[in-house]
Structure 1
Amino acid sequence: MEILDRLIPSHVTPAAQWEQRFPARPLAEGAEVTRFAPSPTGFVHVGGILVALIAQSVAVSSGGVFILRVEDTDQSRYVEGAVEQLGRSLEYFGIIPDESVGSGAYGPYVQSERAGIYDSFVRVLLEQDSAYPCFCTSEELAELTARQQAAKAPSGYWGPWAACRSLTEQDVVARLDVGTPFVIRFRATSGDGEVRRVKFSDRVRGDIEMDDNRNDVVVRKTMGLPTYHLAHAVDDHLMRVTTVVRADEWLSSVPLHLQLFDALGFDAPQYAHIAPIVIMDGKSKRKLSKRKDPQANVDWYAESGYPVEGILCYLRGLANARLQDEPWQQVLSESLRLEECSNSGQLLDLAKLASICREVIADLPVEQSADRLLAWAQRRDPELAVQLAEDRHALLRVLSIEQTQPDRPRKDLATWGEFREKYGFLIPAAFTLVTDPADARFDPLDVELVRQMAAVVADGYKHDLDGREWFEQVRTAALSLGFSASVGEYKREPERFRGPLKVAANVIRVLLTGSTRSPDLYEASRVLGATEVFRRLASLA
């Protein structure tokens, strides 16, 4: 008992008191308690948001509880601002936990604030000889690894390679007396070196059989904080988590975690390991990387201006393939099912994401689109925000272009970030006049013909016309200069004409919009107004 008290003082709260403080939850049968438990070691990965969405949906659809827990026991990898970005990201995606930092009866929900709880259960493991102190230095552990490699033995701290596993009480006391630093290791139940197999069921992957854990892993570090392995077992038990939804990188740790639950006398939760998001790298696939891929960072999507509904719809389709071809509004209302999650990597397809987002933006009321665009621009493009805010009526007219036909609304914006490129021409202060008739955007017309087309339209330009009449003045100008009335006519007798009508009309399109592709020119002219349209038509004079 003297040694035990020197390892974990006897005044720690008895484990039984924690059991009483955090009793079983009064939930209906079948209700599931899930958690999202990220580590603040960098920005939030979009794959983490996918896991959180699934975990939240499982809890909500069953009438259960969804918990946010911050797992910060690895202080050496803590990144300043990571917790704040986590909160910002979850709020952006509408993933609101039922319990989290500052709210909930089963907290604290930050692991570094729960050290006393973990010590109580480390003491339990020591009392029953399921754990022991280890005094090995980093140099000794490096030497151990080298000897194992030379002997072609499995790596790890186990069996005959576990130097401190069989220390006598006298050995332990002697080291404690001279103040030798120590960690606490879990005594693996199959740590004698014999290869054993363990079977368990995964909610995503079904029945699994794999090698049992034989490593005596560290459960309490030198500075007193637990490792992830012990902390998550204690927290999931005391928070009464029923289903652990997490990335599949943790699948190989399940045998160890099952041993820990068993040693502590806890009922193990159900596990559901979610396949990673992958991308194409050349002809092969690889995991979406925090280090290599900007689109791994959830902030990238917000900065680019993807509508949040589109991102959520896309991620939910990755989770359950049955949702991929459903209308986005329906996708957002459906519950996600663990049993329908794929056990192989889900390919990140930005083209598919953009397609969904175009549908979302096209379906938004114009007033709402204006509010969303302004909110994005105020954060990411302040100059654009000022220009848009000066005339909200004009902004609404811009966003209304080609939106008058409910069965065929405009679907050219996938992100708010594309607005400047595609509709910036409608903001006079941001538009650069086209003054060079040799500009490549006028190809294949020669310089003189470009000047003539612009001059003829400008000279007789009338603004207050309906759509048919407005385009007729462009058509009349083109015909007067020897262009054909149609592509078919030009193809039949190319020697008679200077080109098809659409080539001549492109001159007007470029002058008014700065692009060879644009929304409906007539609608654009209504937004620009007569004075601005004429100014642009006359820019080659």
Structure 2
Amino acid sequence: MLPTEILDRLIPSSVTPVAEWEQRFPPRAMPAGAEVTRFAPSPTGFVHVGGILVALIAQSVAVSSDGVFILRVEDTDQSRYVEGAVEQLNRSLEYFGITPDERVGSGAYGPYAQSERAAIYDSFVRALLEQDSAYPCFCTSDELAALTGRQQAAKVPSGYWGSWATCRHLSDQDVAARLDAGAPFVIRFRAPYDGGTVRRVRFTDRVRGDIEMDDNRNDVVVRKTMGLPTYHLAHAVDDHLMRVTTVVRADEWLSSVPLHLQLFAALGFEAPAYGHIAPIVITDGKSKRKLSKRKDPQANVDWYAESGYPVEGILCYLQGLANARLQDQPWQQVLREPLRLEECSNSGQLLDLAKLASICREVIADLPVDQSADRLLAWARTYDPELAVQIGEDRQTLLRVLSIEATQPGRPRKDLATWGDFREKYGFLIPAAFTLVTDPADERFQPLEADLVKQMAATVAAGYKHDLDGQEWFEQVRAAALALGFAASVGEYKREPERFRGPLKEAANVVRVLLTGSTRSPDLYEASRVLGADEVLRRLTSLA
């Protein structure tokens, strides 16, 4: 062990004793079986939807056991800190209804931002130094790069270990001399064996079951030059002092478990249980890969809010990814069910946007029309302000629009998967949002010639009657088409194409495009009821 005078130069003896931190953050008084979990993102960019999946699982494990769910911000890597990331994190958690019991500004086991816990970490780093489980390292980045090159040439594993860990073997005099010279240093964990054959370590993962892998041999950095800890030390100290019982995290950390178990043992802590969650993957050509922050916009949770997916649908879909037993249940039931770590898949879960859309259509269709209107307007105010003005001027029209062709009284139809779909699918029913079709040669009228398009529009408009029942309303369109020489049916047209100017459906398409702006739309008669006689005529005469 290093002499006291050297220890004091590395970490001053004035740090708070470890025992005092243990007294300040005692074991929690909780019912038997209660679990303490945490979601601990780093503010190094936007929140990944896979992180939300992890948070949902961690929260459910705590809630279903009458435990505690913590939000901890792991911001010790200041070089990668992204401005606004914490704000986006809080916004995302609120959007998804994830409500930690303890977080920054609320809770007895804080601070909950690691950048505010430096004094706590120093106490435990000092304890590691005092028991010779850590040592100072003065290697420069160039020296470490050269070390890696020599290891590659020698065909041995890269890393700072065994005889390759040069500072591990410095004498007290060498350490003192380098400190006297003002050499910058980090503190490294002393792995519990010095070279030799790598041992195997066994542990049980609550998602993956019994696992065996190589033990850690590397002397990893636990305290950086600027005085902040690395993730490895900070998470061990924090999970212990916050009395976390189960760590739910992404499977990218699975390979670090041997190191983390060594750290818990060296610090004298009881290790928590681990559950490593498989990543969300997408299809890329003929293969699959992890959903990427750099490549895939749908990795960003903001993408779902901006697109207007109803949050219940996203939650239902994510919970189905977590526990397959939930995938075929009604969405209302899924949201009432707890998530179980032991039922999580240990292989990547495929992001299926078509499945997500299907669930979201059910969610929107199950909402009362009044509620759908409120939520559509709330979404539009943030993400489509122009639409918000257009639909906010006449609530009764908006309610009629959402009710068109409804499968149940008081419920919207099932073709909205997102609030963002409204403009494309129903915007034509809002006069202020509709762009008149003024070109008879528009490709939407094909295969009809422009002159024939104008004739059909003018004929329907000339004799247009609005206050008719559905059959009578369509009959006036049919009569106009027959008067212009269109066949009454496709079959009739195919039998004698030379007699007709086209089938009836091509003539009716002129009316559909003029009224809706599309070749596909909801029922034209119901649409005309929402539009009203004046608006229908305005659109029918837009080619004149």
The equivalent of 2:387 in structure 1 is: 384
Q: What is the rounded CA distance, in whole Å, between the counterparts of 2:239 and 2:78 in structure 1? A: 21
Give CA-to-partner distance per residue, 1:338-357, whole Å, 9 cap, x none.
11111111111111111111
The equivalent of 1:303 in structure 2 is: 306
Q: Report how many aligned residue pairs link the two structures.
A: 541
The equivalent of 2:352 in structure 1 is: 349
Q: What is the rounded CA distance, in whole Å, between the counterparts of 1:166 and 1:211 in structure 2? A: 24
AA of the residue aligned to 2:236 = A
Question: Per the alignment, in what secondary structure is the counterpart of residue 260 of structure 1?
Answer: helix
Partner of residue 268 from structure 1, selected from 268, 271, 296? 271
Matched, 1:98 2:109: no
Moved more, 450-459 or 78-87: 450-459
- Map 1:141-540 onto structure 2 (within 5 A): 141-403=144-406, 405=408, 410-491=413-494, 494=497, 497-540=500-543
Q: What is the rounded CA distance, in whole Å, between the counterparts of 2:496 and 2:188 in structure 1? A: 88
Question: Per the alignment, in what secondary structure is the counterpart of residue 6 of structure 1?
Answer: helix
Give CA-to-partner distance per residue, 1:330-371, whole Å, 9 cap, x none.
111111111111111111111111111111111111111111
* TM-aligned CA distance change 1:13 to 1:37, over 3 Å: same
Q: How big is the alpha-carbon RMSD for the aligned residues of Structure 1 and Structure 2?
A: 1.6
* TM-aligned CA distance change 1:82 to 1:342, over 3 Å: same
| Contact 1:191–1:213 (CA under 8 A) maintained in structure 2 | no
Q: What is the rounded CA distance, in whole Å, between the counterparts of 2:252 and 2:213 in structure 1? A: 15
| Contact 1:191–1:216 (CA under 8 A) maintained in structure 2 | no
Q: CA deviation at 1:235?
A: 0.4
Q: CA deviation at 1:124?
A: 1.1
Q: What is the rounded CA distance, in whole Å, between the counterparts of 2:194 and 2:479 in structure 1? A: 90
| Contact 2:368–2:411 (CA under 8 A) maintained in structure 1 | no
Q: TM-score, normalised by structure 1?
A: 0.97
Give CA-to-partner distance per residue, 1:303-341, whole Å, 9 cap, x none.
111111111111111111121121111111111111111
AA of the residue aligned to 2:298 = Q
Q: TM-score, normalised by structure 2?
A: 0.96
Q: What is the rounded CA distance, in whole Å, between the counterparts of 1:103 and 1:441 in structure 2? A: 59
In structure 1, stretches of 5+ residues that fail to align are none
AA of the residue aligned to 1:60 = V
Q: What is the rounded CA distance, in whole Å, between the counterparts of 2:69 and 2:193 in structure 1? A: 34
Q: What is the rounded CA distance, in whole Å, between the counterparts of 2:27 and 2:397 in structure 1? A: 59
AA of the residue aligned to 1:459 = A
Q: What is the rounded CA distance, in whole Å, between the counterparts of 2:196 and 2:508 in structure 1? A: 80
The percentage of aligned residue pairs carrying the same residue is 87
Q: CA deviation at 1:496?
A: 5.0
Give CA-to-partner distance per residue, 1:215-255, whole Å, 9 cap, x none.
00000111111000000000001111111000000000000
Matched, 1:23 2:26: yes
Give CA-to-partner distance per residue, 1:63-121, whole Å, 9 cap, x none.
11110000001011001110000000000110010100000111000001001111111
Give CA-to-partner distance per residue, 1:400-424, whole Å, 9 cap, x none.
1112535996221111112112222
In structure 2, stretches of 5+ residues that fail to align are none
Q: What is the rounded CA distance, in whole Å, between the counterparts of 1:287 and 1:74 in structure 2? A: 24
AA of the residue aligned to 1:405 = Q
Structure 1 stretches of 4+ moved >6 Å: none
Question: Per the alignment, in what secondary structure is the counterpart of residue 425 of structure 1?
Answer: helix
- Map 1:59-74 onto structure 2 (within 5 A): 59-74=62-77
Question: Per the alignment, in what secondary structure is the counterpart of residue 276 of structure 2?
Answer: strand
